[in-house]
Structure 1
Amino acid sequence: MLLTGFNRRFSPFAMRLREALDGRTNPAMLTYRMNAGFIPLDHWVHGEEGGGRNIGEACHIYDLFHYLVGTPVADIQAFPIGRTTGRYARNDNFSAMLRFQDGSVATLLYTALGSKELNKERLEAFAEGGAAVLDDYRTLDLHGFAADGLKVRGQDKGHRAELEAFAGAVRGEADWPIPLWQQLDVTRISFQVERLIETGGVAAEDAAAPAAAPPAEDG
């Protein structure tokens, strides 16, 4: 049993949005804005323990994209902003675009340039004449979908539900909370985006091939 701590897919908002997107016959478009805030360069987040802003935090969004779309990623592009005054790390400000095997496209805008007065995270999704807006894991507005929106008191990013799912799987009551093939593909995506950030968006020669179709024995 292996579970990487990608918690956002366990949020009730992500689950409701996944229900809304299920059954679509055309690719979807998703865009995610993370107003991550400034963190000093000497903070542990930027070191080996934290892995940096992309590997340490943006990975959660790549997994959320995976969960919502449901197919492996076929192509990855990423670009950092140009040179700064030295206040920001290379992976503090970048944009990553993922194209999935079903033709869906998901874009992450990750930035430390903004004000903390603005909510940290916002997702917009479009498919089959429907539109969805997830605002900081507090509200989900659905337009043109059969499913209803959702609002909770406070914020729910799925941490508790993830632990409960893991406990159930360990007891043999459920399948793996996150299929192994998705955990591996999200890790591959994170490393590839990191390489692209370091090279200014130039494709790395050693880019790994897309993950294979989901194996049947993950349960």
Structure 2
Amino acid sequence: MKAKQRLLVISVLLTFLICMSLIVQSYIFKKDAEEVVVYWGMTGGKVYEIQQKLKQWGYYDGPIDGIYGAKTFDAVKKFQAKNGLAVDGTVGKQTAAAMGINLGTASGGGGVSAPSRGGGGARGDGDVYLLARAVHGEARGEPYLGKVAVAAVILNRVADPRFPNTIAGVIYQPGAFTAVSDGQINLTPDEESLRAARDALNGWDPTYGAIYYYNPAKATSSWIWSRPVHLVIGKHHFAT
């Protein structure tokens, strides 16, 4: 009888261990298969392939140099608009499929290298989290591209001599951001805001170097209306 009980216990334990192993393997596979997104500032063979396709179809008139810059960004947006895709200037799974390009997976590198922002040294987790909090407070409900854009504006200010030269200094500059004034900066950022902060810190700037943005339905400063707007993402106007 005891022998049967021992066998039952062993069987249950083995079943449990097998199930846990399968769960862990499934998680690892899922992480390895994360979608690659090619965006402004990236370089490499996939960018080269994207440029070739766009040039062949008449969307792109720049050099085929494997560098994802302004002309590639604009050409991708034209392609997306023409083909009924979400127009964000980035090449993700759907846009790549429409182009007939296989981006691979995150674990495979995707044939691209992410850019890095200079001028500020290495960024710590504290900077990432603070930037994500600002994004969450300022751009919650905006499209993902708009969240990256808000983060990029903050980083563009860090690099501009007219503003403080740290992320915290820019964010907490008196009167600079509504999220600080109304306390939304203290909300816990979601995963998308954290990802947007990381993408901006890695060099993605969909704003073309903007240092201001505002929502025309809420802006109260007459001065901000004098700034030249060169991009609109969601409800925000981005200006220099």
Which TM-score band applies after superposition, normalised by the shorter structure? under 0.3
- Structure scoring higher RCO (CA < 8 A, sep ≥ 6) equals 1
TM-score w.r.t. length of structure 1: 0.22
The structure that is helix-richer by fraction is: 2
Higher Rg:
2
Give the TM-score taking structure 2 as reference length. Answer: 0.20
- The structure with the largest strand share of the pair is 1
